[in-house]
Amino acid sequence: MTAAPDGVGLLRAMLRIRRLEERCIELYSAGEIRGFLHVYIGEEAVAVGVMQALTPEDDVVGTYREHGHALARGIPARAILAEMLGRQEGCSHGRGGSMHLFDAGTRFFGGNAIVGGGLPLAVGLALAARMRGERRVTACFFGEGAIAEGEFHEALNLAALWRLPVLFVCENNQYAMGTALERSESQTDLVLKASSYEVPAWSVDGMDVEAVAAAAAEQAAMVRGGGGPCFLEARTYRFRAHSMYDPDLYRSKEEIARWTARDPLALQTAVLREEGALDDAGLAAMEADVAAEMDDAVAFARAGTLEPVEDLERFVLTEVPAA
């Protein structure tokens, strides 16, 4: 297991996601990133907190809003940005883009743009771990919108029935695209829904990274101990629109202001200042480090090469001989 989270490290991990995505927005506005781009700004505490509870042997299944999951899991910013620029140096060889970041080395299984589609996949990864006698945990991120999909219910039932080691992490940012939870669910208590499958479930303040880390550590230990799946609801909020195409007409300025006042980076910075663990100089140094990392990543992505069109049909089928 990982050591107790280091508060400064948690802030730094969140800051890297925030600054990476701010660069993404710039690159998108400049036309260098195309397609759909869903940023995670405001939700960084969830990925960072949960990732603390995982080991390199564990599996991670992300969503289409997965830049934060990917970076927190350890995929280099260079490979992430190169992917978004469609370069062959990208973590999915330019085949996936923003919504389909993959990395075998860090056991990062997407990057899944089908809402709810990753849940059964996570169940299967956990089943394989069980059958192979490996102690891996599979962490599966999904939004609260996925709870309206049948796959949420099918997957929780199956995971609980077979007591599989899955940590289900629901990032409840209150909106499925533009549809608020109370306009899409008859029962808005998501913990109650998960509990109905006999899955230990509770909520955590998704803006408080240390709280998320503590809750995830507790659940991951339960899962790892053979207790079957757990469900963690992280209550969070995305500060930006659903995607770069979204005019964001469905939320009030007051509501957005209420949540941005609880910016997870600001909250953690205040905690660290209070503790005396971080001062202005420390914060400035961290900012400068992260800015340098992102400068380097943008330069790397821009300098990346385009895969030859002759290779278009590669990777559809496996190229290595069967074992």
Instruction: By CB under 8 A, tell whether 111 contacts other proteins.
Output: yes
CA dist 55 and 29 (Å) reads 36
State the residue for tokens 């997957």: 155
Q: Is 219 a residue that touches other proteins (CB under 8 A)?
A: no
Token pair, residue 182, equals: 């109370």
Query: Chain centroid to CA 72: how far?
Result: 8
Selected binder of other proteins within 20, 41, 70, 121 (CB under 8 A): 121
Q: Is 228 in the site for other proteins (CB under 8 A)?
A: no
| Residues 40, 47 contacting (CB under 8 angstroms) | yes
CB of 149 to other proteins, least distance (A): 9
Which of the residues 58 through 97 are near other proteins (CB under 8 A)? Answer: 59, 90-96
Show the tokens assigned to 168: 């289900």
As measured in angstroms, the least distance from the Cβ of 104 to other proteins is 4
Nearer Cβ to other proteins (117/200)? 117
CA 161 to the chain's CA centroid? 26
Judged by CB under 8 A, which of 114, 181, 271, 283 binds other proteins?
A: 114
User: Is residue 262 at the binding interface for other proteins, with CB under 8 A as the rule?
Assistant: no
CB 156 within 8 A of CB 130: no
Total site size for other proteins, rule CB under 8 A: 48
Q: How far is the CB of 210 from other proteins (least distance, A)?
A: 31
The CA angle 73-282-67, to the nearest 5 degrees, is 20
Does residue 47 belong to the site contacting other proteins (CB under 8 A)? no
The CA distances from residue 80 to 5, 109, 124, 146, 178, in Å, are 25, 14, 26, 25, 27
Nearer to other proteins, 30 or 322 (CB): 322
Residue 92 · residue 79 · CB < 8 Å: no
| Cβ 134 to other proteins shortest distance, Å | 8
Q: Work out whether the CA dihedral 112, 169, 28, 258 comes out positive or negative.
A: positive
Choosing from 32, 154, 246, 293, the residue that interacts with other proteins (CB under 8 A) is 154
Q: Which chain residues interact with other proteins by CB under 8 A?
A: 59, 90-96, 100, 102-104, 109-112, 114, 117, 119-129, 131-132, 138, 150-151, 154-155, 157-158, 161, 314-320, 322-323
